[in-house]
Structure 1
Amino acid sequence: MQQHYTTRAERIMQRIQQLAAISEDVEGVTRTFGTPAFLSGRALVRSWLEAAGLATRVDGIGNLRARLLSANPAAKTFVLASHIDTVVNAGKFDGPLGVLMALDLLEQLIAKQVVLPFHIELIAFSDEEGVRFHTTYLGSKVVAGSFDHAWLTRPDAGGVTLAHALEIMEADAAQIAADAIPADDWLGYFEMHIEQGPVLWEREIPVALVTAIAGQMRVELTFRGMAGHAGTVPMAMRQDALCAAAEFVLIAEQFALTHGQGLVATVGKLSLSHAASNVIPGEVTCSLDLRSPDAAQLAAAYDALQTYTEAIAGQRNVALDWTLIQQTAPVDCAASLNDLLAEAIADAGHEVVALVSGAGHDAVPISAVAPATMMFIRCYKGISHNPLENVELADMAAALEVADRFLHLIRLQIPTR
């Protein structure tokens, strides 16, 4: 039995390596939404789906979708999904692992001619990371029916709007509303993903049950001071935008360290307009990423940091633009599915470890319309969004066994008609 799962894991690993070879750069893995590399990668995944005998389609936002049908046309739909877009200089496993493991599960069901009491839809989401248009979950929000059509006018860094990007991708934005799965048609949602944290790695446990996903608030800040000659403006008379931004970065770090208990604050972007070594920075733009599994804590941290930052700007005589770019509330995974997943983990002989995800996932928008759960898979030192991402074959094989058992338990819950 173990060799059976190892063989399946080896095939998935081969596919992951093939997909990772398709990238916008040669050093890491970069396939951002709508780029030629993304389209080539999606085409490769589509070829594997169709080779398995699955009919495929690309929806209005560029999601790749395939269905394994029940004999009952009125059956509900259980979705297996993750994403195939990446951040810049990413690893190989974040997103694609879940898609390719889901494909393996369907290949097994097809090979065994399993009679399904529900439809299974496999979705490779087109944009979870939000790198290009700075709004995450574009793909899953379409499926959940929560896509905001105002986003179609949002431009990327090159001025290309989302609507134009979809035209280039030959995706029909007019179909977006029809691409949602109606709430009454959902049976549930299951996503497999690397942990993106060190717990499983340190404890040498292959999988974990995800009980909740932290809420997130993303802010764009611009500090506007006065550019000036580095040699002629006295220190006490400067309006240095970078010094204000630097103070903000340290305040954000210290605030999260002090308040802790799940709260994290990250400044991941910092850019200077017209930067030069002999010019006092006049304008600096940076980001703030706040996350917490506690909605009240997240809101309080947001308000406090905005107040602190406004005070910094006032003391340094610089203007501040504070813009909330994105907000997602913390979500709990569905208890009914969690119970079955915990049973599957235990039946496979593993300790049931329950974790809260600090990272966002497509399960967040889906959870608004359907029962959703996730399984984390052990990843090298918990490293993600980094070329060092790695999953060992033994852990992947263990996760496949758990997933097989989980789907079997779900089938037992639904009478075959």
Structure 2
Amino acid sequence: MTDYHARTAHILARIEQLAAISDDADGVTRTFGTAGFVRGRDLVQGWFAAAGLETRLDGIGNLRGRWPSARPGAKTFVLASHIDTVVNAGKYDGPLGVLMALDLVETIIQQRIELPFHIELIAFSDEEGVRFHTTYLGSKVVTGAFDPALLQKTDAEGITLARAIAAMGGDAAQIPADALPAAEWLGYFELHVEQGPVLWASGVPVALVAAVAGQQRVELTWQGMAGHAGTVPMAQRQDALAAAAEFVLAAEAFAGAHGRGLVATVGQLRIPHAASNVIPGQVIHSLDLRSPDAGPLAAAYGALHARAEAIAARRRVALSWQLVQATAPVACDAGLNELLARAIAASGHAVVRLVSGAGHDVVPASAMAPATMLFIRCYEGISHNPLENVEAPDVAAALEVAEQFLRRLASRHTP
């Protein structure tokens, strides 16, 4: 009988080893292409190779491990998550899914299980989008959706994506060839912490993901007039920060009033040439809008754009509104979710279906092949925070469910 608890202990020990690698001595920070990211990826690459996977790095720095099937004409089933983090992150968002999937593949190899499909295990290099303010860079390469224009996008230090790829040993010229052709895809499966409180409150260890909310990311630049804090009368000021602050509160109020899963967040704000005795002349900040429904998401985008323009006109500041990323709500595959629901029930758990408010690599993957996710209960639903945590029994339960799911998938595709 499989000892899922022993396997879980091994996975969590690896999580701790990976979390010890960080660009920030006080937390876990491994954003795309940094020295900490590369060291962490090297560690995981060693684990892939030791498992016996055909291991390589692709052009954008995704770590890819392949276990081929002996069956002629077999297609590829992708197991994946990401190993980049936000700044001051938790240990589990992304890496837990990669290392759980690695354990599943290690078990298949050790038990010499013959599969009717190839497995490709992928640790995506960039899902969070922190450094270049655009998400899913890694999975867009694998799915063939990568836009070459992104190579000229710059980070806060003025470094282009192309230069960052080269600095980490990648090859941007190789990116088009790194896509898995559409005809070779069988499906996609991702394990991930829930990043929400539903499972924690219910005590259920896992849930299948029915859909992922749509998302709009915007960069707003307010251009006023810098001036002396002591000499410019209040009525004559063109304060960019005051305009931005009014908009931030307006976005919060709008989302709160319209509900039904709509959320609005301003998570980044930059004041160039800031000083305590200078009226801010320019402010740049983000806006993140999400909803499980396309209609309310589009309506919110339009309404808040109009609100920003009105604030700018009344306060006599210029406004630049730049859409950085737009993803529509995505439904996970009904057929894979049927198999996943049966695996959950067979493992003795209630079948809970959730809509993910967080974005995941399943979004670009779903455009290429049947795709789904399994959520794992996390402590109080806390994520993107050093307090992010999981309990070993929940991970063990998810591991059993995932293994049951792969067995059922193999049976479905075995003649």
Q: Secondary structure at the match of 2:30?
A: coil
In structure 2, what is the Cα distance between the partners aligned to 1:229 and 1:158? 28
Deviations 1:6-61 (A, max 9, x none): 00000000000000000001111011111111111111101111111112000111
| Structure 1 residue ranges without an equivalent (≥5) | none
Equivalent residue letter for 1:252: A
Deviation at 1:327, TM superposition (A): 0.8
Equivalent residue letter for 2:312: A
2:181 match: 182
In structure 2, what is the Cα distance between the partners aligned to 1:253 and 1:52? 48
2:48 match: 49
Deviations 1:155-200 (A, max 9, x none): 2222221112222222122221111111111110000000000000
Tell whether 2:155 aligns with 1:173: no
In structure 1, what is the Cα distance between the partners aligned to 2:380 and 2:202? 11
Q: Secondary structure at the match of 1:176?
A: helix
In structure 2, what is the Cα distance between the partners aligned to 1:128 and 1:270? 21
1:391 match: 390
In structure 1, what is the Cα distance between the partners aligned to 2:337 and 2:394? 20
Tell whether 2:326 aligns with 1:330: no
Deviation at 1:140, TM superposition (A): 0.3
1:258 match: 257
The list of structure 1 runs, each at least 4 consecutive aligned residues, that deviate by more than 4 angstroms after superposition, is none
2:196 match: 197
Deviations 1:379-401 (A, max 9, x none): 01111111111111000000000
In structure 1, what is the Cα distance between the partners aligned to 2:157 and 2:281? 23
Q: What TM-score do you get using the length of structure 2 for normalisation?
A: 0.98
Equivalent residue letter for 1:287: S
In structure 2, what is the Cα distance between the partners aligned to 1:73 and 1:35? 40
Deviation at 1:127, TM superposition (A): 0.6
Q: Secondary structure at the match of 1:226?
A: coil
- Count of aligned pairs: 415
Deviations 1:209-253 (A, max 9, x none): 100001111111111112222222222222111111111011000
Higher mean alpha-carbon deviation, 234-243 vs 17-26, is at: 234-243
Q: Secondary structure at the match of 1:175?
A: helix
Higher mean alpha-carbon deviation, 136-145 vs 173-182, is at: 173-182
Q: What TM-score do you get using the length of structure 1 for normalisation?
A: 0.98
Deviation at 1:72, TM superposition (A): 1.4
Deviations 1:76-130 (A, max 9, x none): 1100000001111111000000000000001111111101111111000011111
In structure 2, what is the Cα distance between the partners aligned to 1:200 and 1:408? 25
Deviation at 1:204, TM superposition (A): 0.8
1:288 match: 287
1:60 match: 59
Q: Secondary structure at the match of 1:93?
A: coil
Q: Secondary structure at the match of 1:285?
A: strand
In structure 2, what is the Cα distance between the partners aligned to 1:81 and 1:35? 21
In structure 2, what is the Cα distance between the partners aligned to 1:145 and 1:317? 44
In structure 1, what is the Cα distance between the partners aligned to 2:31 and 2:283? 25
- The equivalences for 1:5-404 within 5 A come to 5-404=4-403
Equivalent residue letter for 2:244: A
In structure 2, what is the Cα distance between the partners aligned to 1:131 and 1:56? 26
Deviations 1:331-365 (A, max 9, x none): 00000001100110011010111000000000101
Q: Secondary structure at the match of 1:345?
A: helix
In structure 2, what is the Cα distance between the partners aligned to 1:121 and 1:73? 17
2:406 match: 407
In structure 2, what is the Cα distance between the partners aligned to 1:391 and 1:216? 26
CA RMSD of aligned residues (A): 1.0
In structure 1, what is the Cα distance between the partners aligned to 2:276 and 2:44? 47
Deviations 1:250-300 (A, max 9, x none): 100000000010100001112222222222222111110000111111111
Equivalent residue letter for 1:21: A
| Structure 2 residue ranges without an equivalent (≥5) | none
Q: Secondary structure at the match of 2:218?
A: strand
Q: Secondary structure at the match of 2:88?
A: coil
Q: Secondary structure at the match of 2:12?
A: helix
In structure 1, what is the Cα distance between the partners aligned to 2:21 and 2:213? 31
